[in-house]
């Protein structure tokens, strides 16, 4: 009886039943029972019994499972795979329906495949989450039909899987690999010309073609009778803090993700690159009060702790308090550090209210204020205006875009490093600024 719960009528069987019923009705109208409806009825019954036997004679006719990563990467395409193996003694027709989390709001994950005897197949598709948190997967439902195609038998695999969505670790690994292989320029990272010699001495080595002749060590050359050069490395153990604003100004969405999620993804990437560059990475979140503080470190556990902290961050509807941020940094960060402040200013007045605190931070540390272009306004400016209403909208959009540039100019006048960027270019522009400041010896 339990197996019969997984029995479904196929469209062919439904049409056949309708045809037999119509024949019986027609025979009553004509008068008496005709032999043809009886033959059709018993033939249909025989086919149904044969199809039932084909589907249910093999107890474990189909094996399958869903493979999901231990965690999903926020804002990225994450591959999900469904593995299926056929143990039926016939080529099975499969209809696969995966119960994905409701956050995706997708109803199109319906796959139809044929699976030969004793063969397996993997179905792959991708999901792009846009919010951090726990996502609950349901079961993988597979409806199996035999070559007769009258009935369907349902199988359910991989029920109730709970998968967390973390900040974009896929993006973090991508930039990490590019940084290790010195291929960051492929993603738009600029090559920065090093200014001065703000580097630490590492060792003396033999000269090879391409070494700077200005670093030749003549004393070592005289002793070894070979050209020897001094080898330098970037200064290490500099502190890099990501300051993430969690107030209402960071709730604006772009391509499904909020501005705060873009800031979180960029913070994860820049923290990882800073640690790979032998610097220390730390984290502070704030809105009207200070949220989480993670002291700068380059220990083996630091990146895991940063991921866990970023995973639990949520935007609020309150206004950010930069005075509280300034007081907290003054107490907690005593060493001169690089502060990457991810926030958003929509008006010059809003920036000017916070300017005294930003100036105070810039006097003690290297402060980089990172805020966002309004891409909706940019697209509106680029569209041609065809009537008076559209001209008015375009003028307002140009006013907002000009205010953004004016904010950046006012911050730069006070000696504060500034990045005005679109959300999709945030990570690349932040890495560029970090490498530029290191090359200029400012940290």
- Does 24 fall in a domain? no
Per-residue pLDDT band for 196 (boundaries 50, 70, 90) equals very low
Same domain, residue pair 296 and 399 = yes
State whether 154 and 58 are in the same domain.
yes
- pLDDT at position 356 is 94
Residue 55 has pLDDT above 80, yes or no: yes
What is the Cα 229 distance to its own chain's centre? 45
Q: Is 23 inside any structural domain?
A: no
Looking up residue 319, the CATH number of its domain turns out to be 3.40.50.410
| 241 and 208 inside one domain | no
pLDDT score, position 388: 87
Query: For residue 291, is it within any domain?
Result: yes
Q: Give residue 49's pLDDT.
A: 82
222 has pLDDT over 70 = yes
Q: What is the pLDDT of residue 123?
A: 95
Q: What is the mean pLDDT of residues 18-29?
A: 60
Mean pLDDT, rounded, for 47-71: 88
Note whether 250 and 350 are same-domain residues.
yes
The mean per-residue pLDDT over the stretch 241-252 comes to 93
Coil, helix or strand at residue 134? strand
Distances in Å between the Cα of 290 and the Cα atoms of 134, 247, 287, 293, 352 are: 25, 11, 6, 8, 21
Contact (Cβ atoms closer than 8 angstroms) between residue 366 and residue 268:
no
pLDDT of amino acid 261? 94
Under 8 Å between Cβ of 94 and 122:
no
Please give the residue range of the domain that contains residue 225.
199-234
Report how far residue 84's alpha carbon sits from residue 155's, in angstroms, rounded to the nearest whole number: 11
Q: Average pLDDT of the chain?
A: 84
CB atoms within 10 A of CB 365: 19
Q: What is the pLDDT of residue 394?
A: 85
Residue 99: its H or E element: none
Give per-residue pLDDT as tens, 93-143.
999 999 999 999 888 788 999 999 999 999 999 999 999 999 999 999 999
> pTM (2 decimals)?
0.79
Name the DSSP letter for residue 216. B
| Pairwise CA distance, residues 436 & 37, whole Å | 86
Q: Are 39 and 131 in contact (CB under 8 A)?
A: no
**Rounded distance between C-alpha atoms, residue 371 and residue 419, angstroms:** 6
Residue 15: is its pLDDT beyond 80?
no
- Span 235-248, average pLDDT: 87
Q: Let me know: does 167 contact 304? Beta carbons within 8 Å.
A: no
In this predicted model, which residue has the larger pLDDT, 352 or 15?
Answer: 352
346 inside domain: yes
Q: Are residue 209 and residue 183 in the same domain, yes or no?
A: no
The answer to whether 136 and 83 are in contact (CB under 8 A) is no
Kindly state whether residues 216 and 244 are assigned to the same domain: no
Domain membership flag for residue 228: yes
For the chain, the residue count is 443
78 and 139 share one domain: yes
Q: Quote the CA–CA distance of 176 and 314 in Å, as a whole number.
A: 26
> What is the per-residue pLDDT across 299-340, written as a single tens digit (0 to 9) for each?
889 999 999 999 988 877 788 999 999 999 999 998 999 999
Q: Give how far the C-alpha of residue 112 lies from the chain's centroid of Cα atoms, to the nearest Å.
A: 29
Task: Examine the domain organization and report whether 65 and 126 are in the same domain.
Answer: yes
Amino acid 198: pLDDT: 47
**The Cα angle at residue 61 between residues 57 and 64, in degrees rounded to 5:** 160
**Given pLDDT bands bounded at 50, 70 and 90, which one contains residue 269?**
very high
Question: CA–CA separation, 230 vs 216, rounded Å?
Answer: 6
- Predicted pLDDT at 409: 94
Residue that terminates a domain, selected from 234, 257, 283: 234
In a domain, 103, yes or no: yes
CB 241 within 8 A of CB 290: no
User: pLDDT band for position 435 (50/70/90)?
Assistant: confident
pLDDT on residue 195? 43
**Residue 176 pLDDT grade (very low, low, confident, very high; cuts 50, 70, 90):** confident
Q: Within this chain, do residues 219 and 92 fall inside the same structural domain, yes or no?
A: no
Burial class (CB in 10 A: 0-12, 13-18, 19+), 65: middle
> What would the pLDDT profile of 358-412 be if each residue is shown by its tens digit?
999 999 999 999 999 988 888 888 888 888 888 888 888 888 889 999 999 999 9
In a domain, 355, yes or no: yes
- Among 10-19, 300-309, 427-436, whose mean pLDDT is lowest? 10-19
Q: Are residues 312 and 404 in the same domain?
A: yes
CATH code at position 144 = 2.60.40.10
Q: Measured at the alpha carbon of residue 418, what is the angle toward residues 413 and 423, in degrees to the nearest 5?
A: 150
Is the distance from CB of 236 to CB of 280 less than 8 angstroms?
no
Rounded-to-integer distance, Cα 116 and Cα 279, Å: 56
In a domain, 25, yes or no: no
Q: Is the pLDDT of residue 200 over 80?
A: no
Lowest mean pLDDT among 41-50, 181-190, 197-206: 181-190
Number of domains within the chain? 3
The verdict on 13 and 135 lying in the same domain is yes
pLDDT for the residue numbered 36: 64
pLDDT at residue 1, as a whole number: 44
Query: What is the arithmetic mean of pLDDT over 202-223?
Result: 76
Based on the domain organization, do 162 and 80 belong to the same domain?
yes
């Amino acid at each position: 009886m339990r197996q019969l719960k997984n029995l479904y009528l196929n469209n062919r069987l439904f049409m056949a039943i309708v045809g037999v019923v119509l024949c019986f009705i027609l025979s009553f109208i004509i008068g008496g029972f005709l032999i043809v409806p009886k033959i059709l009825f018993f033939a249909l019954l025989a086919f149904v019994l044969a199809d039932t036997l084909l589907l249910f004679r093999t107890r474990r006719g189909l094996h399958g499972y869903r493979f999901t990563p231990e965690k999903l990467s926020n804002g990225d395409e994450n591959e999900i795979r469904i593995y299926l193996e056929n143990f039926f003694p016939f080529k099975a027709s499969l209809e696969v329906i995966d119960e994905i989390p409701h956050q995706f709001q997708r109803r199109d994950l319906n796959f139809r495949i044929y699976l030969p005897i004793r063969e397996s197949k993997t179905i792959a598709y991708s999901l792009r989450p846009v919010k951090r948190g726990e996502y609950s997967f349901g079961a993988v439902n597979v409806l199996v039909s035999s070559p007769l195609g009258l009935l369907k038998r349902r199988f359910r695999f991989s029920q109730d899987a709970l998968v967390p969505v973390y900040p974009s670790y896929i993006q973090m690994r991508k930039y990490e690999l590019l940084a290790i292989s010195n291929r960051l320029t492929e993603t738009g990272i600029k090559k920065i010309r090093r200014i001065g010699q703000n580097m630490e001495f590492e060792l003396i080595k033999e000269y090879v073609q391409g070494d700077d002749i200005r670093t030749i060590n003549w004393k070592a050359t005289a002793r070894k009778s070979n050209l020897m050069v001094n080898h330098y490395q970037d200064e290490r153990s500099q502190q890099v803090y990501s300051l993430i604003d969690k107030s209402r100004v960071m709730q604006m969405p772009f391509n499904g993700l909020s501005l705060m999620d873009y800031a979180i993804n960029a913070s994860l990437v820049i923290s990882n690159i800073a640690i790979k560059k032998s610097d220390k990475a730390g984290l502070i979140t704030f809105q009207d009060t200070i949220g989480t503080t993670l002291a700068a470190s380059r220990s083996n556990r630091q990146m895991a702790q940063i991921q866990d902290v970023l995973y639990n961050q949520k935007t609020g509807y309150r206004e950010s308090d930069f005075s509280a941020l300034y007081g907290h940094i003054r107490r907690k960060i005593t060493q001169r550090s690089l502060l990457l402040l991810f926030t958003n200013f929509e008006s010059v007045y809003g920036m000017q209210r916070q300017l005294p605190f930003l100036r105070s931070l810039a006097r003690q540390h290297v402060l980089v204020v990172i805020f966002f272009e309004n891409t909706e306004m940019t697209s509106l400016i680029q569209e041609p205006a065809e009537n008076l209403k559209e001209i008015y909208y375009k003028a307002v959009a140009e006013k907002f875009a000009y205010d953004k540039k004016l904010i950046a100019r006012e911050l730069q006048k006070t000696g504060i490093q500034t990045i005005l960027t679109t959300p999709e270019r945030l990570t690349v522009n932040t890495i560029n600024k970090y490498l530029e400041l290191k090359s200029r010896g400012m940290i």
